[in-house]
A and B are shown apart, each in its own frame.
Chain A
Amino acid sequence: MLFLSQLINGLQLGSIYALVALGYSMVYGIIMLLNFAHGDIIMMGGYFALVAFAATTNPVLAIIATIVGCVVLAVVIEKVAYKPLRQAPRISLLITAIGVSLFLQNLAQLIWTANTRAFPSTEIIPAITFNVGGLSISLNIIVTICVSVLSMVLLAFIVQKTKMGKAMRAVSEDTEAAQLMGINVNNTITYTFIIGSALAGIGAILYCCRYPIVNPTMGSLLGLKAFVAAVLGGIGSIPGAMIGGFAIGLAEVFVTSIGLSAWTDAVVFAVLIVVLLIKPTGFMGASMTEKV
């Protein structure tokens, strides 16, 4: 029974990681950038939710404001910081992303101070607990898992079935060839950022409902772990990001449950290192070889 409740717990955390990991994975797939700022977009999403809820006291409006806020922020970042570097060496782009991440953290600290704030999680998802055969499951967990799975299904649909999805796949396969086929690469990249950051907005709300606090550095560890999840699953691969997210979520919960909570982060990274050494491109990643 304990095992089962831990499993559900892990699935909840894992589905949040998966949502965030998808953002990393999609951006990497399309512009080969490890978007370090993604975790901080989630942090900003937490603050957006906080501010919007304080202003409107309407959970639905707060959720919409969060998603819109994350999307706008991500698109602005892409246009201002990443777009000028399309032709630059990869290392420059990566360092820029680190710069953006730092900037967002410190901007949040300037605006909202470094203090941790409480997040009104129960106002957004009521604290109801169901009892299923001796197993108590909170509404929070059910909502998180359902929303995540739905988002992922929707994403899979967009990528596989729509015209924009086809363009995204084409650009990530070969940017130049896609351009020659008449695909607007800049628009496609923008769409990718929109989808990735919308998922981040949803992830922000779900994460804050699970750990009801907000502070300027909350994005970095969440981001790092989601990022580990994306790499673990094979960065650039959508199913990989989901598998990686669940793997990290479950690993974290089970390590904590056997009383090693202080070592959780180390275990997460150790798992990553071991996987990368055995299969350098993650579970589902395509191998890349340089043509000689």
Chain B
Amino acid sequence: MDKLVKVPSNALIPERDLGKLPILDIRHLGIDFGGLSAVDDFNLTIGRTEIAGLIGPNGAGKTTVFNLLTNVYHPTRGSILLDGKDTAGKKTYQLNKMGIARTFQNIRLFKNLTVEDNVKIGLHNATDYSMAQAILRLPVYWKEEKKAHEKALELLSLFDMQDMADWKAGSLPYGAQRRLEIVRALATKPGIMLLDEPAAGMNPSETAELMENIRKIRDTFHIAIMLIEHDMNLVMGICEGIAVLNYGRIIAKGSPEEIKSNPMVIEAYLGKKGGAKAHA
């Protein structure tokens, strides 16, 4: 794990990513829902191969940040540069093409389709033939479909799921469903992958395996990963930079060690000492 260094804009990124354009550069991001600001003045820079964590108590606005980054919600304020390009006004699918992929807190698989088809849908834009070519079953269709099939199995084998290719996604065990979502996101060839609570509902050994896999994905594909997670072992174990969100604002940023010892973070998670007493 590289140590974090400050870049001129005051942001922290891992040392090895210095000198490269950050994959994500978020400035003063904010959104209001009915007059209330759910996220405000959110600033974060993520290096090209960084594993970043976004943590915070329930309702802090973590998933809202992911929704803003993928334009599921359109920000009220601020700007997002994805690979140096402004994402304002783009549709979610366009952002995916520009290099951002995600998983969901409440798993959103294509349940009635096979595992392989789920991954192939992720490969949609990498599979290149037109509708007419498909209907006429021209050679390019067969070639591209074969390529997609092989690529899908290759990606599934990352998680040792290639034997489940013919299963219906909805019939997979819970942990496998979460892994399939990651594979599907990976199939879209992202520059950064957003994982929303990837370890939720997993047991400790599954979580440990997931940590290994997240690292492996980063090292194999040289992409950045940003994750929301409540499992502190996972976050402290693999994240290089961590941002802590509370009431829609970042209250702390830094390496796992810095975050662990930050009094503001401890307060956000455990409450004020005085407050606790007053209740008792």
List A residues at the B interface (Cβ < 8 Å): 292
Collect the chain B residues with CB atoms within 8 Å of residue A292's CB: 63, 67, 72, 104
| A292 to B107 alpha-carbon distance, docked (Å) | 10
A-B contact pairs, 4 of them (CB 8 A): A292-B63, A292-B67, A292-B72, A292-B104
Q: How far is the CA of A292 from the CA of B38 in the complex (A)?
A: 15
Docked CA distance A292–B67 (Å): 8
B63 contacts which chain A residues (CB < 8 A)? 292
A91 to chain B, nearest CB (A): 14
Residue of A nearest to B196 (CB): A292
Distance of A292 Cα from B104 Cα, bound (Å): 8
CA distance A292 to B228 in the complex (A): 14
Task: Name the interface residues of B142-190: CB closer than 8 Å to any CB of A.
Answer: none
A57 to B72, CA, bound (A): 63
Q: Which residues of chain A come closer than 8 Å to B72, judged between CB atoms?
A: 292
* Set of chain A residues within 8 Å of B104, measured between Cβ atoms: 292
- The CA-CA distance from A15 to B22 in the complex, in Å, is 63
B46-76 contacts to A, CB under 8 A, are 63, 67, 72
Closest CB of chain A to B195's CB: distance in Å?
14
Min C-beta distance of B140 to chain A, whole Å: 36
Find residues 103-134 in chain B having any chain A CB closer than 8 Å to their own CB. 104
Provide the residues of chain A in CB contact with B67, threshold 8 Å: 292
Determine how close the nearest CB of chain B comes to the CB of A180; give it in whole angstroms: 20
B214-252 interface bits toward A, Cβ cutoff 8 Å, 1 = contact, 0 = none = 000000000000000000000000000000000000000
Expressed in whole angstroms, the Cα–Cα distance for A292 and B64 within the complex equals: 9
User: How far is the CB of A289 from the nearest CB of chain B, in Å?
Assistant: 9
Give the shortest distance, in Å, between B73 (CB) and chain A (any CB).
Answer: 8
Give Cα A292–Cα B92 distance, bound, in whole angstroms.
13
Chain B residue nearest to A290 (CB atoms) is: B72
CA distance A36 to B49 in the complex (A): 56
Closest to B105 in A: A292
Q: A92 to chain B: closest CB distance in Å?
A: 15
Assembled-state Cα–Cα distance A265/B50 (Å): 61
Chain B positions 60 through 97: 1 when the CB is less than 8 Å from some CB of chain A, otherwise 0 = 00010001000010000000000000000000000000
B43 to chain A, nearest CB (A): 23
Measured between C-beta atoms, what is the minimum distance from A89 to chain B in Å? 12
CB distance from A10 to the nearest CB of B (A): 37
Q: Give, as a whole number of angstroms, the nearest-CB distance from B175 to chain A.
A: 22
Q: How far is A292 from B68 in the complex, measured between Cα atoms in Å?
A: 11
Q: How far is the CA of A292 from the CA of B71 in the complex (A)?
A: 12
Expressed in whole angstroms, the minimum distance between the Cβ of B102 and any Cβ of chain A is 10
4 closest A-B pairs (Cβ-Cβ)?
A292-B72, A292-B67, A292-B104, A292-B63
Write the chain A residue with the least CB distance to B73: A292
Q: How many Å from the CB of B64 to the closest CB on chain A?
A: 9
- How far is the CB of B206 from the nearest CB of chain A, in Å? 25
- Nearest-Cβ distance from residue A57 to partner chain B, whole angstroms: 59
Q: How far apart are A286's CB and chain B's nearest CB, in angstroms?
A: 12
Query: Nearest residue in A to B64 (C-beta to C-beta)?
Result: A292
**Assembled-state Cα–Cα distance A292/B65 (Å):** 11
B88 to chain A, nearest CB (A): 19
Give A31 Cβ to nearest chain B Cβ, in Å.
Answer: 23
Q: Give Cα A159–Cα B52 distance, bound, in whole angstroms.
A: 51
Q: A292 vs B72: C-alpha distance in the bound complex, in angstroms? A: 8
Shortest C-beta distance, B93 to chain A (Å), equals 15
A139 to B213, CA, bound (A): 80
Closest approach, in angstroms, between the C-beta of B145 and any C-beta of chain A? 31
Q: In the bound complex, how far is the Cα of B228 from the Cα of A46, in angstroms?
A: 61
Residue of B at shortest CB range from A289?
B73
- Min CB–CB distance A54 → chain B (angstroms): 54
Q: What's the nearest-Cβ distance from chain B to residue A177, in Å?
A: 18
- Please give me the residue from chain A that is nearest to B63 by CB atom: A292
Docked CA distance A84–B63 (Å)? 36
Shortest distance between the CB of B169 and any CB in chain A (Å): 18
A129 CA to B67 CA in the complex, in Å?
Answer: 64
Cβ of B39 to closest chain A Cβ, rounded Å: 14
- Complex CA–CA separation, A292 to B63 (angstroms): 8
- With CB as the reference atom, state the residue of chain A lying closest to B104: A292
Instruction: Closest B residue to A291 by CB, please name it.
Output: B106
CB B180 to nearest CB in A, in angstroms, measures 19
Q: How distant is B121 from chain A, measured CB to nearest CB, in Å?
A: 18
B67: nearest chain-A partner, CB-CB: A292
A292 and B70 alpha carbons, distance in the complex (Å): 11
A292–B69 alpha-carbon span in the complex (Å): 13
Nearest CB of A to B253, in Å: 25
The answer for the CA separation of A216 and B104 in the assembled complex, in Å, is 50
Q: Tell me, rounded to whole Å, the shortest Cβ–Cβ distance linking A9 to chain B.
A: 42
Complex CA gap A195/B207 in Å reads: 54
How far is it, in angstroms, between the C-alpha of A104 and the C-alpha of B67 when the chains are bound? Answer: 47
CB distance from B194 to the nearest CB of A (A): 12
Query: In the bound complex, how far is the Cα of B194 from the Cα of A292, in angstroms?
Result: 14
A117 to B171 CA separation, bound complex (whole angstroms): 57
